[in-house]
């Protein structure tokens, strides 16, 4: 069974074509700068494609993906009919979709209603589904939600202390995101500890362009840092993370901003980019720090401080913690960042092994043998999780 997995972001689209029988990733690629100019790359075995392609919307990106995987020279399948099903990452399931679902006219209508809950991601997610429907009519498609893994949170963790009617009537509450990644990290961490998922307590740190931390008890999410949207929690590439809402009312009044402009300010102009004035990208932040940029250093120090603070609070929530796992672009590559996050936590049984920590982008135990809490780096694999859910739903049809 060959499954195409589409992970559509606000301005990018990652994809993998996976042969589920052999677990082989037949092709893997990335469409970047959708809506700006358009850059495309794909690897299929030892064959590579890299080119500039105009991609005004996600529809052109999907067309490019299809053309690349079926390319006679550098592709990996002769015809689209080889694809059994398509799995899509969808940002927001809210309280409507607690688990992955088959895409039907009804579920599609339900997802349309959630666009206001995820204005940066949902339009691209849904456009990706529609474009695949058009290119592969009749091929089953499955939606896998970033929110699903967090559905096990208790109301004490997910409620906001707003007038209750906003929860009852408008479903305003914490949902949490990166759930597919946190679920994968939970499973892999359990495997590395020689435990079943249901036995493991961990703190999963997904630190990328978007970042979130998840507290997992007996394999289930009990709390997470992102909220109603992926804006809450940690400082991120362009997102502010937590702040006093009164601060934004003050700015809105002062600069006469509309709610949409304020949303844009917090989601796209804040975080590392807004603080440093340099970039949203951690590699650029590191380079700026090396040149003595104090605002870039402040942004990085804030991330370290905030992750440390959440680790402390989730240790309190969980009681026993078997492991802390780092994943995503910054978590997998940030050797010094990981060191700084866990330094000073030795009294809590968290002991980093500096030599083991000298690793990037591969699975590794990075704590000392004497460390009560094990520390791991595990590259995330959202695409594999999406493919597995897709197979399960399609096989049950």
Ligand X SMILES: CC(=O)OP(=O)(O)O
Shortest distance in whole angstroms from residue 359 CB to ligand ADP: 12
Number of other CB atoms surrounding residue 170 within 10 Å: 12
The annotation status of 383 as a binding-site residue, yes or no, is: no
29, 93, 210, 241: which one binds ligand ADP (CB under 6 A): 210
176 binds ligand ADP (CB under 6 A): no
Q: Which is nearer to ligand ADP, 266 or 330 (CB)?
A: 330
282 is in an annotated binding site: yes
Neighbours of 141 (CB within 10 A): 25
Residue nearest to Mg ion (CB): 208
Shortest Å distance, C-beta 185 to ligand ADP: 13
Q: CA geometry: angle at 211 spanning 302 and 132, to 5°?
A: 155
The correct pick among 118, 176, 179, 208 for binding Mg ion (CB under 5 A) is 208
The CA–CA distances, whole Å, from 253 to 250, 266, 271, 275 equal 5, 15, 21, 21
Please list every residue from 305 through 364 that binds Mg ion, using CB under 5 A: none
Tell me: does residue 124 bind ligand X (CB under 6 A): no
- In angstroms, the CA 128 to CA 124 distance is 6
Hey, which residues between 302 and 331 contact ligand ADP (CB under 6 A)?
A: 328-330
Q: Which residues contact 163 (CB under 8 A, 6 or more apart)?
A: none
Token pair listed for 344: 């000073």
Task: Work out what residue 177 binds among ligand X, ligand ADP, Mg ion, none; the CB cut-off runs from 5 to 8 Å by kind.
Answer: ligand X
332 marked among binding-site residues: yes
Binding to ligand ADP by residue 267, rule CB under 6 A? no
| Beta strand segments in the chain, E | 2-8, 13-19, 24-32, 39-44, 47-52, 83-90, 101-102, 141-145, 202-207, 211-217, 220-224, 323-327, 364-365, 374-377
Q: Least separation, in Å, of the C-beta of 391 and ligand X?
A: 23
- Closest to ligand X by CB, 40 vs 145, is 145
Q: How many CB atoms lie within 10 A of CB 340?
A: 18
Is there a catalytic annotation at residue 146? Answer: yes
Cβ closest to Mg ion, residue 281 vs residue 353: 281
Question: Which residue in the list 21, 79, 146, 264 is annotated as catalytic?
Answer: 146
Find out whether 255 is annotated in a ligand binding site: no
Burial 257-269 (b: 16+ CB within 10 A, else e): beeeeebbbbbbe
Task: List the structure tokens of 236.
Answer: 């991120």
Is 227 a residue that touches ligand X (CB under 6 A)? no
For position 149 contacting ligand X by CB under 6 A, the verdict is no
Please report whether residue 241 would count as binding ligand ADP according to CB under 6 A. no
**Residues found near ligand X in the complex (CB under 6 A):** 9, 146, 177-178, 208-210, 230
Residues labelled catalytic: 146
């Amino acid at each position: 069974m060959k499954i195409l997995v589409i992970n559509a972001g606000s301005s990018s689209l990652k994809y993998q074509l996976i042969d589920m029988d052999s677990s082989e990733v037949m092709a893997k690629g990335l469409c970047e700068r959708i809506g700006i100019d358009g850059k495309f790359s794909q690897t299929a075995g030892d064959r590579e494609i890299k080119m500039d392609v105009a991609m005004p919307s996600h529809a052109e990106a999907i067309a490019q993906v299809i053309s690349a995987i079926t390319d006679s020279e550098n592709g990996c399948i002769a015809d689209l009919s080889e694809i059994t099903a398509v799995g899509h990452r969808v940002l927001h399931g809210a309280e409507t979709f607690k688990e992955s679902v088959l895409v039907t006219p009804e579920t599609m209508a339900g997802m349309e209603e959630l666009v206001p809950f995820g204005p940066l991601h949902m339009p691209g997610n849904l456009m990706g589904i529609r474009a695949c429907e058009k290119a592969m009519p009749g091929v089953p498609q499955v939606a896998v939600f970033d929110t699903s893994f967090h559905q096990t949170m208790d109301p004490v963790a997910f409620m906001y202390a707003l007038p209750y009617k906003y929860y009852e009537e408008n479903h305003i509450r914490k949902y949490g995101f990166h759930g597919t990644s946190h679920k994968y990290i939970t499973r892999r961490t359990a495997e590395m500890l020689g435990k079943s998922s249901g036995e493991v307590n961990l703190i999963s740190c997904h630190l990328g362009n978007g970042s979130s931390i998840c507290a997992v008890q007996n394999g289930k999410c009990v709390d997470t840092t992102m909220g109603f949207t992926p804006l809450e929690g940690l400082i991120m590439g362009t997102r502010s993370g937590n702040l006093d809402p009164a601060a934004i009312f003050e700015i809105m009044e002062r600069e006469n901003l509309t709610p949409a402009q304020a949303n844009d300010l917090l989601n796209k102009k804040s975080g590392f980019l807004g603080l440093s004035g340099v970039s949203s990208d951690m590699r650029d932040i590191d380079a700026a720090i090396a040149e003595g940029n104090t605002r870039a250093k402040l942004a990085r120090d804030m991330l370290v401080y905030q992750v440390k603070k959440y680790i402390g609070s989730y240790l309190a929530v969980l009681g026993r913690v078997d492991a802390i796992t780092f994943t995503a672009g910054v978590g997998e590559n940030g050797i010094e960042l990981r060191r700084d996050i866990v330094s000073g936590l030795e009294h809590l049984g968290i002991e980093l092994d500096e030599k083991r920590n000298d690793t990037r982008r591969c699975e590794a135990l990075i704590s000392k043998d004497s460390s009560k809490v094990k520390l791991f780096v595990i590259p995330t694999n959202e695409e594999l999780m999406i493919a597995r859910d897709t197979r399960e739903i399609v096989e049950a049809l």
